[in-house]
Amino acid sequence: MQRTFVIAAITSALLGLAGCETAPESDAVLEQARQAVAQAEADPNVSKYAPAELDRARKLLINAEGAAREKGGKNEAAAHYAYLTTQMARIAGQRAQEQVALKRIKAGETEREKILLSAHQNEPDQARAAKLEGMQASQTSRGLVLTLDDVLFDTGTAQLKSGAQRSLDQIAAFLNENPERRVQIEGFTDSDGTNDYNIELSQSRADSVAMAIINRGIDAERVRALGYGEQFPVASNADAGSRQLNRRVEIILSNGGQVIPGRVVVGAT
């Protein structure tokens, strides 16, 4: 051991003599290492995302400084450790940058989902309407309008036929999924019969649809039923086919939580 030490001492003396020309280079490398570590330390992202690498860089810098002190201004060990220090500080910086970018990507993904979700809620509800299959659904300014035709009722009564159950299940499920939405049920008849009778019939049909929805667990607060009688025909009433089109119940699902405006009855009694 002692012999090694002596040899090492002689070696360093010789190296010291021999190495004057490269001394500035070693100093420069060490200075570069110090700056690299200082730069990494100044970046809060580095201490946040790459503390282990920063720590390693600091320790390597201590080694480099130690080697430089031990053997004077110039030596290979100091330059070597200084080089490792600089690279490690850069690695810390790059790892932190990667994490920052990953954070940005994550935030972006969340943002995208939010946009898609709200777009989904605001869009013409094609996707949602598709769920309410079997019913004519159309988007209007009042909301999503579904039409149940009169085959779902026995003639002249407000009793819902069993065929309506599936549609009502779907509507109730839709309302459950969209708790902010309200539903307005509007009943209409053809022009046969007296106006009063038609209004009453349309109101009780709307009511029975409303009851059916409320019975499926939807808060009555969210449900409104209106009977318009023969007002607002969608067809001419001139023949049986168009009269049938007029006998209908429209179900309006609000866009968001807004209250659905009623229809303005023109020339009402």
Partner 1 sequence: MLTLGGIRNAIWCVIAFGIVACAATPMPVEKLAVARSSIERAEQAQAAQFAQVELISARNKYAVAQAAADKNDAEVAARMADQADVDAQLAESTAKAKQQEQLATEMDAGLRDLRDETLRRDNSAAGAQPQ
Residues 6 or more apart in contact with residue 135 via CB below 8 angstroms: 146, 147, 148, 167, 170
Q: How far is the CB of 49 from partner 1 (least distance, A)?
A: 11
Report angle CA 228, 231, 268 to the nearest 5 degrees.
Answer: 85
CB nearer partner 1, residue 14 or residue 265: 14
Q: Per-residue b/e over 147-184, b at no fewer than 16 CB within 10 Å?
A: bbebebbeeeebebeeebeebbebbbebbeebeebbbb
CB nearer partner 1, residue 163 or residue 262: 262
The CB density around residue 13, as the number of other CB atoms within 10 Å, is: 12
CB nearer partner 1, residue 15 or residue 173: 15
CB nearer partner 1, residue 143 or residue 227: 143
CA distances from 48 to 44, 56, 87, 168, 188 (A): 6, 15, 19, 55, 66
Q: What is the DSSP letter of 256?
A: T
The CB density around residue 93, as the number of other CB atoms within 10 Å, is: 21
CB nearer partner 1, residue 129 or residue 210: 129
Q: How far is the CB of 199 from partner 1 (least distance, A)?
A: 26
CB nearer partner 1, residue 238 or residue 266: 266
Q: How far is the CB of 79 from partner 1 (least distance, A)?
A: 10
- Interface residue list for partner 1 (CB under 8 A): 1, 3-4, 7-8, 10-11, 14-15, 18-19, 76, 80, 83-84, 87-88, 90-91, 94-95, 97-98, 101-102, 104-105, 108-109, 111-112, 115-116, 118-119, 122-124, 139-141
CB nearer partner 1, residue 97 or residue 191: 97
- CB-based burial label for 38 (10 Å; 0-12, 13-18, 19+): exposed
Q: How far is the CB of 77 from partner 1 (least distance, A)?
A: 8
3-class DSSP state for residue 226? Answer: strand
CA 243 – CA 236 distance, rounded (Å): 7
Q: How far is the CB of 69 from partner 1 (least distance, A)?
A: 19
Q: How far is the CB of 165 from partner 1 (least distance, A)?
A: 31
Q: How far is the CB of 225 from partner 1 (least distance, A)?
A: 24
Residues 6 or more apart in contact with residue 28 via CB below 8 angstroms: none
